[in-house]
Amino acid sequence: MAEGDMWIKNLAVSKVHKLVLDEIPPAVFEKLIKRFVQLEDVEYYIYSWKNYPDIIEAISLTKERLRRLCFGYLPPPASGYYESRLPDNDYETVTSLREFSQLEELVIDQALLYRKSDSSTGTRLVALLPPSIRRIHLTYVYKNMYEDLMSLAREAPGSFPNLRSVKIGLSSPIPPERITEIEHMKTVESTFVSIGVHVSWAEDLKGPFLYTAIPGGAPGLTF
- Write the CATH number for 173: 3.30.870
Residue 212, pLDDT > 50, answer no
pLDDT for residue 11: 58
Residue 221, pLDDT > 50, answer no
The band of 206, judged by pLDDT with boundaries at 50, 70 and 90, is low
Q: Tens digit of pLDDT for each residue in 132-162?
A: 999 999 999 999 999 999 999 999 999 999 9
Nearest-angstrom CA–CA distance, 95 and 112: 9
The band of 207, judged by pLDDT with boundaries at 50, 70 and 90, is low
Report if residue 41 sits inside a domain.
no
Give the residue from 173, 152, 148, 141 showing the smallest Cα distance to 73: 141
Q: Are 32 and 26 in contact (CB under 8 A)?
A: no
Q: Tens digit of pLDDT for each residue in 161-195?
A: 999 999 999 988 889 999 999 999 999 999 999 99
Q: Which domain holds residue 182?
A: 77-205
Report if residue 124 sits inside a domain.
yes
Residue 92, pLDDT > 70, answer yes
Task: Calculate the average pLDDT of the chain.
Answer: 84
The whole-model pTM stands at 0.86
Handedness of CA 55, 57, 58, 60 (dihedral sign): positive
Residue 65, pLDDT > 60, answer yes
Give the residue from 78, 94, 75 showing the smallest Cα distance to 86: 75
Report if residue 151 sits inside a domain.
yes
Q: What is the mean pLDDT of residues 213-217?
A: 41
Q: Tens digit of pLDDT for each residue in 193-202?
A: 999 999 999 9
Q: What is the mean pLDDT of residues 36-62?
A: 83
Element holding 124 (H helix, E strand): helix 124-128
Number of domains in the chain: 1
Residue 51, pLDDT > 70, answer no
Instruction: Find the angle CA(17)-CA(20)-CA(25) to the nearest 5 degrees.
Output: 115
Report if residue 196 sits inside a domain.
yes
Q: Are 129 and 106 in contact (CB under 8 A)?
A: yes
